[in-house]
Structure 1
């Protein structure tokens, strides 16, 4: 970190963290912390993932997935293709899932289930 970085406090899942950050990036830090907190709360609320570390890893995976989709233009750049997928899904009465998030979530759920089985055994 640069010499002009200050320490700022962020709260994530009722825990306070001190983070070094340049003053001109404090707003982005607070937005990032809020986004992470929301992601972690959503994961915790499902009751499928137990433990702060595992919740944090799952949130990191979800956020990384979103970032990669955005970089690859899946979420923002392919509006034309997404529109076609949404229109097709609406006609068939399904919910569109152009990014395959349902499949990814199912795989993650299965991996967590297997991990729990290993811990129990």
Structure 2
């Protein structure tokens, strides 16, 4: 494990320990969280660091769950397409060998 990584969120610095291979993901996550929290703060509707953090966490969690649902739907459609493709291939294979191949 490498040394701590400094991230800045709403003008506050935090030091987070992480492995070297996770550093880029940590920095990207911190930047995204910072952006989300700034948007909430700048809207003026939510006051206080704790409340802003909770709202950002809820928004990000909602995005993640929506992405998971979309991925699940895509996987279900992909599986249906794979089954349909197999059925079509089998049907074509059967017609090719056992169908009308005589001309007349």
- Same-fold call, TM > 0.5? yes
SS at match of 1:73: helix
For 2:24, the equivalent position in structure 1 comes to 27
1:71 is the counterpart of 2:64:
no
Q: Please list every run of 5 or more consecutive structure 1 residues that lacks an aligned counterpart in the other structure.
A: 78-121
Moved over 2 A (4+): none
For 1:51, the equivalent position in structure 2 comes to 48
How far has the Cα of 1:15 moved from its partner? Answer: 0.2
Deviation readout 1:16-62 (Å, 9 max, x if unpaired): 00001101110000000000000000000110000000000000000
Distance in 1 of aligned mates of 2:20 and 2:41:
31
Q: Of the two structures, which has the highest relative contact order with CA contacts closer than 8 Å and spacing of 6 or more?
A: 2
Distance in 2 of aligned mates of 1:63 and 1:46:
17
TM-score, normalised with respect to structure 2: 0.66
C-alpha RMSD of the superposition: 1.5
Matches within 5 A, 1:1-121: 4-73=1-70, 77=74
Could you say which structure has the larger radius of gyration?
Answer: 2
Distance in 1 of aligned mates of 2:63 and 2:49:
21
- Tell me the number of residue pairs that the alignment of Structure 1 and Structure 2 aligns: 73
Distance in 2 of aligned mates of 1:69 and 1:6:
34
TM-score, normalised with respect to structure 1: 0.57
